[in-house]
Amino acid sequence: MLTINNLTYAYDKTVYDFSLHVKKNEIIGIIGESGSGKSTLLDLIAGFLQPFDGNIMLDTIDISKLNTENRPLTILFQKYNTFEHLSVLKNILLGLTTSLKPKQDEINKAKKILKEVGLEGFEDKLTSSLSGGQSQRVALARSLLREKPILLLDEPFTGLDLKTRKKMLTLVKNISKKRKLYTIMVTHDLNDCNLIADRVYKVKNGKLCQV
Amino acid sequence: MLLNSIWRFRLSIMPGGVISFFLLLLAFGVFYILFLNSGYESFSSSLITDRTIGLIKFTIFQAFLSTVLSIILGTVLAWSLAHQNSFCGRDFLVALLSSSLVLPTLIVVFGIISVLGNNGWVTRGIFYLFNYSFDSSIYGLGGILVAHVYLNASFAARSLLHIFESIPKERYKLAKSLNFSASKRFLLIEWPAIKLSLKSISSTIFLLCFTSFAIVLTLGGSPSYNTLEVAIYEAVKLDFDIPLALKLALIQLFITMILVFLSANFKVGISNIKTQNSKISWSESKKLQIFQISTISILTTLFILPLISIFIDGLGADFIKILSDELFIKSFFTSLGIATTSSILTVIFALLISDTRRNFNINHRVKKSKFTNFINLLIAFSGNIYLAIPSLILGLSFFLFSQKFQAPLILWSLGAVLCANILMSLPFALSIIYPPMHKIAGRYDKLSFALNLSGSRRWLYCEWPYLKSSISYVFALSFCLSLGDLGVIALFGSNEITTLPWYLYQLMGSYQTKDGAGVALILLVLTLSVFIFLPKVFKNANHK
């Protein structure tokens, strides 16, 4: 169980106080207006922002005390998820090793995941030559390769056309169910949540309210 | 079809096109008058001599060294500032770094001599602390490099800081979540972001140092440390050897033309100078923090010391004597007049040329073809001819024109100074004004055409609200560049036509350092006030 206990933070006269329980294999959708604090919640969970109070428990471990890089999570942003000057394979392998001198078994693993996200044969292409949907698949593949139990999605498919978006959301749903992940997706579109989320919350006045 | 679309936008193309045409005509005129007076046969036979080769070698050598040092220090400082974004006084330091672009070179020289010179703060401090004295000559290659690096490293740092701060936060978050080391983060995120701009900043700095005049003139010390620019000045002003000056001018013109064309593809980001606030919200490791804070502290001290020395030395001057000197009053008002006129004209020229250029860079306006690409290139080049034709060469040509056309020298002198100041500011002005103008057209063209907004109404609703801050910034920048310039005036300067930098140079030359310090302080305060406060005054006035 992933439990967020009274995670408090204040910014620009708004006080945030988030509490949430996420079961294994569950997808939570978070909606809210622009500037309501959706992304602040993800930044707090990821450790980009330090809460004033509260904690984040993954089963019995308090992960809020850990640095970002040591937290058992992986994040997908809306944009800038890939390095355009690197190939698809190198972008994915960055999830495993930052030296970019991978071992054969790591390459095999990356190729297997590429197949899972539908990008088989794209290994040597530069990500700058990919479409928006394909780039997000690369980022998703890298997230999966890291094998972290928590998957955070920060409006990852905004800007994609409807067909690609639906495809990507279904892909995320299948993968997170198959891998039994704790998934939290922030979006401004309720339709996205309806498509894949088990429960939906709205950020209102700095708090999470179930929809 | 092409002509139709050009005709459709004629009111937007013609005014800037005419200005570009005259600028190119001026460049051609400079070439023509120099070539005409050089005497082709004797010129080609005596072009390559040991002296000219020595001058070329030293000019390139000092420009290369200055560029490398400026880029290294500028990058390290910008990187440190980007990651240390919350210390007290940071905004002031960044504003000060921005102002290095407009600091009169003579003031920088004055400050550096005051700190590092034979009787400067450093030697006096060491004598006071350790009772040890040594000969500290700032003159020569060392002095030239110090002054060039002082001005250009801060310019590079300010430009690069903007780029570091423009890197999307998501990239840094990704690096953090993937546990990148600082070197890996630099290699994968920061280096790709800055490398394109590094090319343009390096080429700009190289050209500025290649054509540097006042610094080499005052800190060079001996003919063995002369650059082409100073050699031209000495040939005209000291040796009265016009054929030699022409020969050197043509060599310089030839090299700078090549350099400008070679660097034409590098996109310059001078508009970067304006601040942007995109802070990274988590801190670095302890070791990195220590390195970054030490870098900022050391380089800031080195940057601020000469300015402080100008303040302290300047405050000891006899201001009643200075302010009652007729020549000072004349220099002061001439400088203000020239700076005001040239900055107004620079703003107008930059607006019109940018308006013309955007027609050729937006698809729904003039259709692209080889011809329009060529026109676009010519217009872009016309705004940057100062980099190819340094002010001293321009001054020399005006001097030759004055002899050919028999007009009073004072008129030609004023014309030359005004012209040089406008040309000097124009590359910066264009790189600040063009990007927003291009963006405005891309964003509001269709709406404007649909609402039939054109001419003054379009300007009022679509252009002015988005351009006013850039315009005030360009005005201030151009005003300060003009105020501190010691280029053409070095050729024409006399008791009849004199500016503040020329007056200061005369005081330095006659060892009136106390009065010089007072004038340097006045010039520094005037420059910084205009550069920092004028855009703010403009902004506040618009809010009311």
Q: What is the pLDDT of residue B70?
A: 95
Residue A19 phi, psi dihedral angles, 5° rounding: -135, 140
Q: Is pTM beyond 0.95 here?
A: no
Among A43, A73, A83, most B C-beta atoms within 10 A, so best to mutate, is A83
Contact by Cβ (8 Å): B106, B214: yes
Residue count (chain B):
544
| Token pair recorded at residue B319 | 């201001």
The arrangement of strands across the sheet holding A53-58 comes to A14-22, A2-11, A53-58, A61-62
CB contact under 8 A, B170 and A80: yes
In chain A, what is the greatest distance between 2 CA atoms, to the nearest angstrom? Answer: 52
B406 touches A: beta carbon within 8 Å:
no
| Token pair recorded at residue A11 | 């910014």
CA B521 to the chain's CA centroid: 21
Q: Alpha-carbon torsion B399, B400, B402, B403, what sign?
A: positive
Nearest to B392 by CA among B499, B246, B259: B246
How large is the C-alpha radius of gyration of chain B?
24
Is the pLDDT at A196 greater than 80, yes or no? yes
Architecture of domain B39-344+443-543: Orthogonal Bundle (1.10)
Residue A144: DSSP 8-state: H
| Token pair recorded at residue B287 | 């070791």
Q: For chains A and B, what is the number of CB pairs under 8 angstroms?
A: 49
Q: What is the pLDDT of residue B294?
A: 94
How confident is the model over A1-18, as a mean pLDDT? 89
Residues of chain A above pLDDT 70, percent: 99
Is the pLDDT at A101 greater than 80, yes or no? no
Domain borders along chain A are 1-72+148-211, 80-146
CB contact under 8 A, A80 and B177: no
Distance between CA atoms of A171 and A159, rounded to whole angstroms? Answer: 17
Beta bridge partners of A20: A4
Neighbours of A205 (CB within 10 A): 11
Distance between CA atoms of B518 and B322, rounded to whole angstroms? Answer: 8
Domain A1-72+148-211 has CATH 3.40.50.2000: no
Number of H helices, E strands in chain A: 6, 10
Domain borders along chain B are 39-344+443-543
Q: What is the pLDDT of residue B281?
A: 61
Q: What is the pLDDT of residue B6?
A: 57
What is the block-wise mean pLDDT of chain B (544 residues), using blocks of 10 residues? 58 85 89 74 66 90 95 94 86 84 86 86 84 77 93 90 86 85 88 86 88 88 83 82 81 81 56 47 79 93 90 88 90 93 95 89 72 84 80 83 78 87 90 87 74 74 83 91 85 83 87 86 90 76 55
Query: What does DSSP say about strands A14-22 and A150-154: parallel, antiparallel, or unpaired?
Result: unpaired
Contact by Cβ (8 Å): A8, A49: no
Q: What is the pLDDT of residue B460?
A: 77
Q: Could you give the angle at the alpha carbon of B176 between the alpha carbons of B173 and B178, nearest 5°?
A: 110
B174 touches A: beta carbon within 8 Å:
yes
B195 touches A: beta carbon within 8 Å:
no
Bin B308: left if φ > 0, else alpha if -120 < ψ < 50, else beta.
Answer: alpha
Query: What does DSSP say about strands A199-204 and A27-31: parallel, antiparallel, or unpaired?
Result: parallel
From the list B176, B181, B189, the residue facing A68 with the nearest CB is B176
Nearest to B77 by CA among B58, B96, B60, B55: B96
Reported as a single tens digit per residue, the pLDDT across A107-150 is 888 888 888 888 888 989 998 888 888 888 898 888 888 888 99
From the list B168, B177, B281, the residue facing A80 with the nearest CB is B168
Contact by Cβ (8 Å): B490, B502: yes
Q: What is the pLDDT of residue B277?
A: 47
Contact by Cβ (8 Å): B193, B301: no
Q: What is the pLDDT of residue B276?
A: 46
Determine the distance in angstroms separating the CA of B281 from the nearest CA of chain A, rounded to an integer. Answer: 7
Among A80, A128, A150, most B C-beta atoms within 10 A, so best to mutate, is A80
From the list B173, B181, B188, the residue facing A83 with the nearest CB is B188
Contact by Cβ (8 Å): A127, A87: yes
From the list A80, A86, A94, the residue facing B178 with the nearest CB is A94
